[in-house]
Structure formats: C-alpha cells, structure tokens
Amino acid sequence: MDTTPIINNFKSEEYQINMGPQHPATHGVLRLLLTIDGEIIKRVEPDLGYIHRSIEKMCERDSYQQIVHLTDRMDYLSSHINNEAVCLTVENALQLEIPERVKVIRTIIAELTRIASHTLWWGVMGMDVGALTTYFYGFRDREMINDIFEETCGARLTMNYNIPGGLMFDIHPNFVKRTKEFIAHFKTKLPEYDLLLSNNIIFRKRMEGIGILTKEDAISFGASGPVGRASGYSCDVRKHHSYSAYDKVKFNEILKTEGDTYARYQVRILEMWESLSIIEQLIDNIPEGEFFAKTNTVIKLPEGEFYQKVETARGELGVYIVSTGTKNPYRMKFRSPGFSNLSLLNHIAVGGKIGDLVATMATLDLVIPDIDR
C-alpha cells in the first residue's frame, strides 16, 4: 500500500480590497477597506470624510433657529426628529411651556417619519440582496407620507417644520384625513412585505445566523435603535426618557434576542406596526390651541450645559450644547446613532464571508451624512 504523503502546495494569503466609495451599497460616500483571505473577512476598516461638512463647527456661528435647519442635512431620513431634538434642547434650557397641540403634532409626524425611513430602508435593503421588487413596493408607500409632508410644510424630505417653541405653522386642513387614509392603506400593504421578503426562504438563508451581535457587545459599542434592540438591549428613548406626547400613548418596545441580521430586519418591520398604533391613538385627539409658544426674536440660552436625546429611525440622537449666554452656542456636539452602529461593523463581520457583508451592513441602516458630519 502506497503511503506517500500528499504535499499541499496551496497557501493562504491575505489581501486588501476597497468596497466603496463607488459601490451601490455604500451610496457613494463610505469606503470600507476590507482585509480578506479568500472569501473570509479578516478586517473591516471604515474610511470616512467623503461628505464631511463641519456641521458642529458651523453651529457655533449660527443662531439657534438656524441650527435647526442644519440638522436635517445629517440624517436626512429622520429630518423632522433631528429638528425636534434641537428644539427640545433649546426649549428645556429656556424652560418654555410648549402647547399640547405642538407635542401631539410633533409625535404624529415623527412616527410618520419613522415609517417613511423604514419603508425606504426595506426597499433598498431588499434591492441590495437581489430582490429588486421591494424597491418599488417601499417607495410606493413612502410617497403617500411624503405627499402629507409636502402639503403640511412644503417639503418632502428636509422639512424644517419644527422651530424653537413650536411649529413653523399649523397643520393643513387635510392633515388628519390624509393621515387616516395612509393608515388604512398601509395596514393592508405591510403584510405584503412579509409575503414578498420576510418569509422568502432564499432571503432568510442569507440573513439568519449572520452578523451576530450579543447584548453585551451592543451595550459596549453603544449601539442603539433597532440594532441594539435586536440583541435584546432595551434602549428605546421614547420609553425610558419620554418626550413630546409619548407619555400619552401605549406601544411596545420591539425586542429580539437572536442579534443576527434577520433579527435587525424583524425589529424594523414590527416597529412600523407600533408606529401605526401610536398615530392611531393620537390622530383623533389633537388638542385645540396655539401651534407655538412665543420666544424672543433673538434666542439666548442661559449659561450652562444642556443635553437632550430623542429616538430617530436609526437610534438615539443626542444634542449637547454649551452656552455662554450669547445667541450662538459656544460648543455643539451631536451624538449620532450611526457612528456607534458603524463602529461595530468590524466586530460582527470578521469571520463571515464577503458576500454576507452587504446584507449585514444593510441592517445597520447607515445614513453616512449622519456619521460624517
């Protein structure tokens, strides 16, 4: 019997490739430097700076009213919620009493914004993994929300509807009617999302058990939003640090424990049902009254440090202001959810295949201008 050993001349060698910035899944503004061995990922290094605008430095020269309009150029898919975060920080610093009408309207539009963001994410995420049809379904439903926004404030994306003290102007007479029509429509369409993608066997094979993030790691990396909650980390700002009209509604904080790519997907789908519930509870109970509280033309915050956090579609957005008593902040800092969520990409991608990276990154729902400010 021949027992001559077989000599294996194959050798393993690591090499580096660029994913982005010219890549459909990175949307032209994010570069990932990948170190791979064959198909296996050894390291993921995000390279930012392609869309940096020094927004926080720009805030130091602007008035507090002007700063509001800068924030929707960060996470442009949560523009209303970003605007609200700055307004809440200023209002709390001034100890303003905000009309109940304003609080309810802000909350309704914030949840419409969340649904609009999630439908866009769902459509693009499906397209990233090869399901082109989701793009058309998601944008079909999102258009109805954008039409409501346009009729309300004249803008479809960067809204600038919030101002310190309240709203730019009152809601349109058709607002309640059109919002109810959207709720009735979306309740029949959201189950289609599950039929088309959620329960698709090929899709689930690509998602389940991929990019696992444990609860402990989610906390360590500062993950928030659907990314944190998919790992069992209870971090919904609306629940734990209620603001606007969230203390007047009942809703569930969606939690999963698997921590994989599919769990992050499920959290966002189920969150859209909760957003519909919140809107339904408020839409027939908008109080009468003023849509703003009077403020000085030139707003000056008292000396001190002020912080407010809100729950955007991507997670916890924090606004930190250092004031010296002038009409401009001395320092301004935003705690963006995307930065923390991007920082954990290397942790969950290493050891996986390069073909799974697009799906893993899609469920982090990164909006790069929110990170690269």
Contact 32, 51 (CB under 8 A): no
Nearest to 151 by CA among 166, 133, 170: 170
Residue 13 reports pLDDT greater than 70: yes
279: Cβ contacts below 8 Å, ≥ 6 apart: 108, 111, 112, 179, 183
- State the angle between helix axes of 79-94 and 64-71 in degrees (0 to 180), rounded to the nearest 10: 160
Name the band, by pLDDT with cuts 50, 70 and 90, for residue 199.
confident
**pTM: predicted TM-score of the whole model, two decimal places:** 0.91
Work out whether the CA dihedral 114, 118, 124, 129 comes out positive or negative: positive
Residue with the two structure tokens 């499920």? 266
Mean pLDDT of the chain: 90
Residue 130 reports pLDDT greater than 90: no
**Distances from the Cα of 230 to the Cαs of 18, 226, 277, in angstroms?**
29, 6, 20
Query: 52-371 maps to which CATH number?
Result: 1.10.645.10
SS3 state of residue 371: helix
| Mean pLDDT calculated for residue range 93-97 | 91
- pLDDT of amino acid 10: 62
Task: Tell me how far apart the terminal alpha carbons of the chain are, to the nearest angstrom.
Answer: 69
pLDDT in tens, 267-293: 999 999 999 999 999 999 999 999 988
Domain boundaries along the sequence of the chain: 52-371
Q: How many angstroms separate the CA atoms of 156 and 143, rounded?
A: 9
Neighbouring CB atoms inside 10 A of 50's CB total 14
